Structure 1
Amino acid sequence: MTGMVDELRTPALLVEAGALEANLATMSAALPGERLRPHIKAHKCTALAARQYAAGHHGFTCATVREVEGMVAAGLGEDLMLANEVLDTRRLGALVADGARVTLAVDSAETVAAAADGGLREVIIDVNVGLPRCGCPPDRAGALAGLARERGLRVRGVMGYEGHLMMATPAAEQVRLTEEAMKLLLAAHADVGGDLVSAGGTGTYAVNTWATEIQAGSYALMDTAYGSLGLPFAQALSVLGTVISVSDGWAVADVGLKSLGMDHGNPSIAGAAVWFCSDEHITFAPEVPGSVRVGDRVRVLPAHVDPTVAMHEAMYLVDGQQVLERWPVDLRGW
């Protein structure tokens, strides 16, 4: 698809081609090849994953069974890690039987049994390194690995997500806390064995030197939350909106809660102060009174990329006002 941005129906998800390519190149230089296992939950788009593959990253991190299935269907099933606990593994086992390589995270006897019973062949032990979510205690990782091997599963190593440290500041404190988290993971790895110590994300990619691979995802498109950290990645993602109403001191565009992830706070609009979002609307105050008119287009910068992308059926790769391609967000849903 080609055309002009102003011809798109709004709200529409835009990706600036130049910023995207710069982000991919910057991360590939920092974490070449197998040092990066891109997390596709951030963009849910096999066309973008293919760009990451072309940049040398042939292993990917997934968050849902649907993502794994879509990546395999797109020919990107060379080495997929589902970094999430799953109890119904039949769909995953079918993919493995057809030749895909799928490694499943496990953190309990129940998830080990589910992996074995569903036809998985490889697992990774998920370890709690400080984020109160999934993951077994570090001192139980070895026993869990033993149980997995008893069930005939290959244990590839350990993973642990220091997600609570992605936004930690100042930098020295983030380094200290990341080291503490990774010491827990490395202790578990000493008991578990295997080649992989998988961890990290966009917020800690540069400081986490303990993991063998980093599971960053947001770096490709970025959002304003990560943008506030001064990372060397440009804001490639925006949601295009149309101004539908103008009043004395404020304006309203057709980008609301149903097209934005809001868990990290309000989005941003250049040259304006965002007041609030409602179901179908964003209300903002232009810095220059009278500078916005009904029918104008605005680009809204989301604070959290992952849920924002998941609300859209497609993203449009653009170069300024030129639409270059339409990429389906084809890994949505479960």
Structure 2
Amino acid sequence: MTPNPSLTRAARLSVAPMMDWTDRHCRYFHRLISRQTLLYTEMVTAPALVRGGAVHLLEYNAEEHPVALQLGGSDPKELAEAAKLGAQAGYDEINLNCGCPSDRVQSGTFGAVLMRSPGLVADCVKAMRDAVETEITVKCRIGVDDQDPEAVLPDFIEQVSEAGARRIQIHARKAWLQGLSPKENRDIPPLDYDLVKAMRGAFPELHLSVNGGIESLDQAEEFLAAGLDGVMIGRAAYHRPWDILGGADAKVYGSAPTGLTAEDAARAMLPYIEAHLTSGGKLHQVSRHMLGLFAGRPGARQWRRVLSEGATRKGAGPALVEEALAQVEQGQAA
């Protein structure tokens, strides 16, 4: 399968899949800020879709494109069926999670534990590739536990790429499956960006993205300038969305600046919030993803306070967001 050029271009910068964070409301918000960055869903498990019939987990807004579905699982047949459901839903990419270190993921024999079984991952990738036309990608770690990343990672990449994954996102840390919590696994194991860069040289025909510990758009640009094909940013993009995504279209993709401000992005969410409330949703389900919009700017604390304290109250709606914006504007005028 020939990679989709527009998707390959979008993958120059992506927002990482993050459990409990990158839901459809978060992605819609991020898409308002950046029109071009590739967005990922939270991990959706293949058993939930295939055995549990939880197809509602695949719902998204058309405005989110380009958007990728991340699947968790380790059974090739089940992943193939889940991939079909994702393709039918219209996702631009389907990604296999081989990087999450949580206990729940380990007990399901998927996520980072799959770094120990590259042959099985290759079987999963091939089954998914055979089942759908949608591009299949893999997100992995550099290794787990006592594995030697310099030996494990190239073997893993070789096997999964031969099975049909032409784009791979590499979290530049090991995962310690025993002794560290999922949160600690995001900070404690040392980053090895040089190894990821070496993989770029070893597999010039592949599209490789680096993930892990990237805190700024400038840092992302440095990785791209060093030859990596893409950069995936997680927590920084979530906690400081304007800092990361606000300048992405111009800096990473060379698009003309839109002139959009953070205040504009907040107000552009108001019709979406209104529609969500009309359908029976709650304000905090959307606004919780907006708390970091003004991070580092005057008025940021007031913005967070108004939304955090008020969004769960009965009847909270767009007026509360307007109130929070007024606090920001007052803070900036002070």
State the TM-score, normalizing by the size of structure 2: 0.44
Of structures 1 and 2, the one scoring higher in RCO (CA 8 A, sep 6+) is: 1
Is the strand fraction higher in 1 or 2?
Answer: 1
